Amino acid sequence: MSDNSQISEKPPLPHWFKVAAILALVWNLLGVMAFVGHIMMTPEMIAELPMAEQALYSSVPLWATIAFTIAVFAGALGSVALLMKKRICYHLFMVSLIAVIVQMYHSFFMSNSFEVYGPGGTVMPIMVIVIALLLVRFSAKGKDNNWFA
């Protein structure tokens, strides 16, 4: 006689899971769009910016742009994996968070973005960090609760 009481079933997903996963994907796709807009800036478009923004834009080092690239694409892939309920979403969100921190280190400590944009210019970067942290936490909770395949 076989004992089926040892077989554990996956716990049901919370009713808000799909909504949160879709919002994560939308947020990260907006990040991809921001990245594409950033790299598609032509010299003519840069020349139309105020001088302080032109200097800020042209002084971004390659490593900060690479961090931006990794942050947005790892976040977007993590969101797709989250929607598909795949455990790898946690690792992708961790990679994205680390890249966000590297990118924001440049923005906050190595560039003069605060002088150029003022205190209001820190709102979006702080939001990006907070949401990246929340996505790591959300995916860790899903991993811990065995929501993923």
Q: How many distinct structural domains can be found in the chain?
A: 1
Distance CA 77, CA 83 (A): 10
> Does the residue 6 lie in any domain?
no
Residue 122 belongs to some domain of the structure? yes
> pLDDT tens digits, residue range 50-101?
998 888 888 899 999 999 999 999 999 999 999 999 999 999 999 999 999 9
Going by pLDDT thresholds of 50, 70 and 90, the confidence category of residue 142 is very high
Distance CA 143, CA 127 (A): 24
The verdict on residue 94 lying in a domain is yes
Q: Looking at the domain assignment, is residue 7 inside a domain?
A: no
H-state helical runs in 87-122 = 88-105, 113-117
* Higher pLDDT, residue 127 or 12: 127
Rounded to whole angstroms, the Cα distance separating 76 from 137 reads: 16
Give the model confidence (pLDDT) of 2-21 as tens digits: 555 555 577 788 999 999 99
Whether 129 shows a pLDDT value over 70: the answer reads yes
Print the domain residue range for 37.
Answer: 15-144
Residues 6 or more apart whose CB falls under 8 angstroms from that of 92 comprise 74, 75, 77, 78, 81
Mean pLDDT for the chain overall: 91
Q: Which residue has the higher pLDDT, 28 or 53?
A: 28
Please check whether residue 4 lies inside any domain of the structure.
no
Give the pLDDT confidence score for residue 1 in this predicted structure.
47
